[in-house]
Structure 1
Amino acid sequence: MSYLLNLHALAALLGMVVVLLLTRRWPHNKRILVLLFNLCFLYLFSRKLFLFSAVYVLINYAGYVWLCYAPKGKRLLFGAAIVLNVAGVSSLRLFGMNVLEHPLFDAIYLFGLIYTVLKVIDAYYFAYYIGKDGKAPLLDFVNYLLFIPTFTSGPILKFRDFMADSRKPYTVSAKDFEAGIKRIILGLFKKVVLVAGMTVVFHDVLDHDLKFYHSLFLMIWFYALIYFDFSGYSDIAIGFGRLMGYTIPENFKQPFLSPTLTQYWRNWHATLGDWFRDHIFMIFSRRFSSRGAAAGLSIVIMLGIGLWHGFSWLYLLWGLYHGIWMAMESLLQLSLVNRKKVSRSYFYFRCICTQLIVTFAVIVYSGNSDVVLRIYKGLLHF
């Protein structure tokens, strides 16, 4: 769900940028005005979401501060905080799927929480490993979790980077302003023009009795569609982040030039891949350094990414599919290809192989099991 295509939301964000530019001589304008903007935006968007987000943030800030200063039992507190957050977002997803029911549940609670919980966990990691020296003010903690440009679809911000940005005064040069505006326009072009037109074509072809060539076309076409859709949102978020004085990380780093699936996930939705690598792979790989352990971790991580996208057998199989391929790369020592140390033809051959692997499963992102099965069945009809 992307509110960044709403004209009122775009006008509000641009208005916030103008206010920041006019008050740039006030040393704390960025931190305080962005806080007020984040809270007012959520309040006007949905009072239920505002209240839920406020309670969620305050509870986690209390846990974060406690973890910063905890003299003992730190590991238990750290683990409990992560488990409770994961259990919370998982429970809400079950309510959203009507597996569980409660009169107080509202689907709006899930709005942005899927990304927010990852940022919360990153903050807990920071508190656990840095301690009291890593304590951040409540104002900056709230801005980190509720930063409007990245609230619903990322890119996923790193706690330490956002806190470092928060300490810097608001300084947006003419060059930064131009780059930010161009990035927003590029994102809007992708979302409003390309994605809208491509979606019409996708559904037109889908309405046919699918043959092999229809299904193959739909897989490739949908792959391009979700790239423009998601990268367009990321462009808008990065552009507004820059105009508001924050550096938002890149989410797409030439993913189509990835010679292995391992490298692909460092370039496609890069901030998500980085999050799982930093918080799961790097932690456990220190204790289990064998290739077999690395292969097993790859499967676990991709299953996690699959379930993060959605609680369904489609995403579970999607995660297993990617995990097995990455495990094979690890076991056969094929996880990394240095472009400078191999021939050009070999490099591009590996890139093509990687894209074929991704394309075969990319239709799962549609989230519609009927559509997915129809397209796969179409591959069998010549």
Structure 2
Amino acid sequence: MVFSSLLFLFLYLPILLFIYYVSPKRLKNVVLLVASLVFYAWGEPVYIVLMIFATIGDYVFGLLLSSPTYGAMKRKLIVVASVTMNISVLGFFKYADFLIVNINTAWGTSIPLLELPLPIGISFYTFQSISYIMDVYRRDVEAQRNWIDFAAYISLFPQLVAGPIVQYSTIAEQLRNRTVGHAMFAEGVRRFIIGLAKKVLLANNIGIIWNQISAQPVESLSMLMAWLGIIAFAFQIYFDFSGYSDMAIGLGLMLGFRFNENFNFPYISRSITEFWRRWHISLGSWFRQYVYIPLGGNRQGRLKQLRNIAMVWVLTGTWHGASWNFVIWGVYFGVILMLEKWFMLRMLDRLPAWVSHGYAILFILLGWVIFAVESMPQMAGYFRAMFGGNSMPAWNEQFLYVLYTNGILLLILILASMPLSKSRLIASHSRSLVFQSVSFIWHIILLLVSIAYLVDASFNPFLYFRF
């Protein structure tokens, strides 16, 4: 089940909200847990067992960490046991076939592939479990003694499948004590509608263009068509993922939770460092708190800092998928970030804004090619096409047709990627009755148009479901 489906919008969500709000406070987490398991089981009922197993395991590990009878060494062993359990389960389902393929290639063996379907959201709830154990170990939070509350946190359906990654410390108090007023619920509805529109009206439509271009033989792509294709993918993955995050944050507000932001207009960045502070913020925060800082961060000299950045980005790339292109993608951004940390940021700060912004966009787009094209020969061919290595004209009639028929969509995508809603003009009128009335009508229109689109939609993927 996905948020951008008629089933979710007209059956699952209304029933859940009704039961949730008529239930007494002491049962709300029970309702939330059951609803989350139903949501998860809709697509993969077998893997509920896996999630429950991990939940029980980390619940017990958390209780053991809180025991006053255990010394430092035993507490470290408990953390190692928990992290090993979580990473082993994630590694088995996500990377076993990748490992087998590479063993077969390197050694000439013929080990059969397991071909296990990847449990939806396993990368996200595994990281949430690890964050809980680490927070309890550091004594940043107390161990959760109510299994229902802990299980509700791990399986929390709004962000279960594709984030944002919610660290336990950010919602520990909200699990015990939360209320939803009219203003908070209305804010959640508005945020959900914006996310739905971003996903359905923007990401889906620009995604069709990327699918059409990427399906063509790379040898036949003109230079500008190749650039248009990766620009389309850049918009698709942004509005797809940020739209899901907006819907997750909106649903959280409807249920009394405030999740941290996951995107902050990343395409306005003037460096790759800034881009990764604005893109998938929850993942960057997780790696910073649980990998980069424990490795020493920037406290042990420049060389070790660069080493730590490299390790984080190899892991970041690997987290995204079991394929060499994701590893290369992580290394690619890791190298750029190390160079920026070393000397390039000082140079970029002295350049005109349009130059540094152009630099960032260029390397972001090149990175998306590595991310989107898993086949190494195809990737090399796509890069050749982008830089005129195909012996094709710079543009052709097909490019002009695609650009002409989608020019308005591209303009809307560019404007929607910019923080126009935070302008002083809009902020100065945001509390006026006229502005609020127009805003209400605008959100209703977005909702109705999105629903109308979903009625006939045949293209409605979520890109991050596979991670």
Q: 1:8 to 1:222 in 2, by over 3 A?
A: same
Q: Does structure 1 residue 90 correspond to structure 2 residue 88?
A: no
Alignment correspondent of 2:79: 78
| Matches of 2:40 and 2:347, distance apart in 1 | 43
The AA in structure 2 aligned to 1:13 is L
**Distance in 1 separating the partners of 2:113 and 2:258:** 40
Mapped partners of 2:260, 2:203: distance in 1 = 23
Q: TM-score, normalised by structure 2?
A: 0.73
Task: Determine helix, strand or coil for the equivalent of 1:289.
Answer: coil
Contact 2:245 2:262 in 1 (8 A): yes
The equivalences for 1:328-367 within 5 A come to 328-332=339-343, 334=345, 346-366=352-372
SS at match of 1:4: coil
- Structure 1 residue 324: deviation in Å? 0.6
Residue type of the alignment partner of 2:385: G
Alignment of 1:182-331 (within 5 A): 182-206=190-214, 207=216, 209-285=220-296, 288-331=299-342
Residue 128 of structure 2 corresponds to residue 122 of structure 1:
no
Q: Label 1:193 to 1:96 Cα distance change in 2 as closer, same or farther (>3 A).
A: farther
Find the aligned partners of 1:136 and 1:119 in 2 and give their Cα distance. 17
Q: CA RMSD in A?
A: 2.6
Unaligned stretches of 5+ residues in structure 1: none
What one-letter code is carried by the residue in structure 2 that aligns with 1:377?
A: R
Provide closer, same or farther for how the CA distance between residues 256 and 17 of structure 1 changes in structure 2, counting only shifts above 3 A. Answer: same
Deviations 1:97-150 (A, max 9, x none): 5937688x8415x21111111001101101211188444421121111101111
Q: Is residue 179 of structure 1 aligned with residue 187 of structure 2? A: yes
Deviations 1:77-111 (A, max 9, x none): 212321332122111113455937688x8415x21
Structure 1 residues 335 and 53: alpha-carbon distance in aligned structure 2, compared to 1, 3 A threshold: farther
Contact residue 261 and residue 335 of structure 1 kept, 8 A? no
Letter in 2 for 1:148: F
Q: Deviations over 1:232-288 (max 9, x none)?
A: 111111111110111122110121233332222121000001100111111222685
For CA contacts below 8 A with separation 6 or more, give which structure has more relative contact order: 2
Structure 1 residue 8 displacement after superposition? 2.3
2:274 and 2:283 map into 1 onto residues whose CA distance is: 13
Larger radius of gyration: 2
Task: Give the Cα separation in 1 of the matches to 2:213 and 2:37.
Answer: 43
Provide the residue aligned with 2:21 in structure 1: 21
- Which amino acid in structure 1 is aligned with residue 18 of structure 2? V
In 1, Cα distance between the equivalents of 2:35 and 2:383? 46
Letter in 2 for 1:113: I
CA shift in 2, pair 1:134/1:4, >3 Å: same
Identity of aligned residues (%): 22
* Cα separation, 2, equivalents of 1:158 and 1:195: 27
Q: Is the 8 A contact 1:111 1:152 kept in 2?
A: yes
The equivalent of 1:8 in structure 2 is 7
CA distance in 1, matches of 2:277, 2:15: 34
Aligned counterparts of 2:60 and 2:42: Cα–Cα separation in 1: 26
Given candidates 163, 172, 186, the residue that maps to 1:154 is 163
2:447 is aligned to none
- Deviation by residue 1:351-374 (Cα, 9 ceiling, x = unmatched): 332222111111233253265344
Judged with a 3 Å threshold, the aligned counterparts in structure 2 of structure 1 residues 336 and 14 are, in CA distance, closer, same or farther, namely farther
TM-score, normalising length from structure 1?
A: 0.88
- In structure 2, C-alpha distance between the alignment counterparts of 1:132 and 1:245, rounded to whole Å: 20
The alpha carbon displacement at 1:191 in A equals: 1.7
1:375 aligned onto 2:382: yes
After superposition, the C-alpha distances for 1:264-314 in whole angstroms (9 at most, x for unaligned) are 212100000110011111122268521221111111111111000012111
Distance 2:346 2:55 in 1: 38
Q: What are the Cα deviations for residues 145-203 of structure 1, in whole angstroms up to 9, with x where unaligned?
A: 1011111100000101121111223x222222222112222222122222222122223
Paired with 2:347 and 2:273, the residues of 1 have a C-alpha distance of 7
C-alpha distance in 1, partners of 2:19/2:181?
15
